[in-house]
Amino acid sequence: MDSLTQIVLGSTAAALSVPAAHRRKALLAGAVIATLPDLDSLPMLLLTDSDPVALMTSHRAASHSLLALPWAGLLLWLLLRWCWRPVREAPRAWLLAIQLTLLTHPLLDALTVYGTQLFWPLPFSPVMWASLWIIDPLYTLPLLAGVISAAIYGPRLPARRWLWTGALLSSAYILWSLAAKAVVERDVRSALREHGLQDAAHFSVPMPLNTLLWQVVVMTDDGYLMAERSLLADRKPLRFRRYASETQAMSEALPDVPALQRLQWFNHGFMGARIDPQGRLIVADLRMGLAPDFTFQFAVARREGDAWAAIVPEQIRVPMRENLTRALPRIWHRIFNEPHDSQ
């Protein structure tokens, strides 16, 4: 999730764990501690120019692991108990605050489609529950209101009430997003059975800034299908759009291209491919962005005779902000309107 959301979630978790007299300090400490897992991006920036695939797939790894963070939290608690009086005054409460702040961070990230390596260093593919988009105001605003109110009221009782209200409303929104995804998945499975694709790999993810309109991607032998599902407007079966992909080229290149292997592990195989005029194999992560301008695209191999040779991966930049700005009016309209059969 975005940084603001992680900050207010961390502030809320910390402030609800400590004594009232420490509440304002916990708001600030929780905000700082909640940002720590994402600092893994700083050393990885050294890899940006040389290997963008490594940069992408190494994010949300050790610093987001449920197997590593409790130990990091314990070390942080020991350090703070040594140098900071509030932790010495209420050590158990602050240990709970630190652990909750750290552990809620990766669990929230796992609700997005990017993927979070919750069980690093075990070699499992990243967890991607994909029930929230990376920015969702309806999740963030209750937490933000609670944090602002707690900062105003400090140790007084209304602060705790506001914090709990924000936490409960945001948690209820997560439950709603999971229920919404279940409804979409039910409709997707029904549509796939009608097309004889009941065994096809697929995923669903909410479209930007909402949980009412969902994007669905289905993998096929020669490419992939995409569809949208509005929980408010759609009553008819899903309408799939077919996209071609260089699936054979990907299969041929896979054994000899480590970056392609890494991407396949990271995104669970939800990739499309094309060959550019320079003879390079360009792969796109189908989980993020709108066709054909997917957010993450990489040149990973070059055709040499009858075989594919690995190259230093290069990220193909797309104008993400401009694409999102253009797409938002259409997304808003689509939430409330089912396409006609001719569309």
d(CA 264, CA 299): 14
What's the rounded Cα separation, in Å, for the pair 264 and 327?
Answer: 28
Asked if 296 and 310 count as a contact pair (C-beta separation under 8 A), the reply is no
Judged on CB neighbours under 10 Å (0-12, 13-18, 19+), 159 is buried
Contact 134, 224 (CB under 8 A): no
Instruction: Name the DSSP class of 122.
Output: S
State the pLDDT at residue 49: 57
pLDDT at 290: 83
This prediction has a pTM of 0.93
Dihedral pair phi/psi, residue 95, rounded to 5°: -60, -45
Contact 300, 253 (CB under 8 A): yes
- Give tens-digit pLDDT for 257-315: 999 999 999 999 999 999 999 999 999 999 998 877 899 999 999 999 889 999 999 99
Torsion sign, CA atoms 117, 220, 298, 252: positive
Number of other residues whose CB lies within 10 A of the CB of residue 53: 23
User: d(Cα 90, Cα 95) in Å, to the nearest integer?
Assistant: 9
Distance CA(257)–CA(307), nearest Å, equals 11
CA atoms of 319 and 336, how far apart (whole Å):
27
Helix, strand, coil proportions of the chain in percent (round to 5)?
55, 15, 30
Positions in the chain short of pLDDT 50: none
Distance between CA atoms of residues 51 and 311, nearest Å: 10
pLDDT for res 88: 97
pLDDT tens, residue by residue, 24-36: 999 999 999 999 9
CA atoms of 138 and 100, how far apart (whole Å): 22
pLDDT of residue 165: 98
User: Which residues have C-beta within 8 Å of that of residue 30, sequence separation ≥ 6?
Assistant: 10, 11, 12, 13, 14, 15, 97, 101
Query: Mean pLDDT over all residues of the chain?
Result: 94
Chain-centre distance for alpha carbon 226? 19
Amino acid identity of 217? V
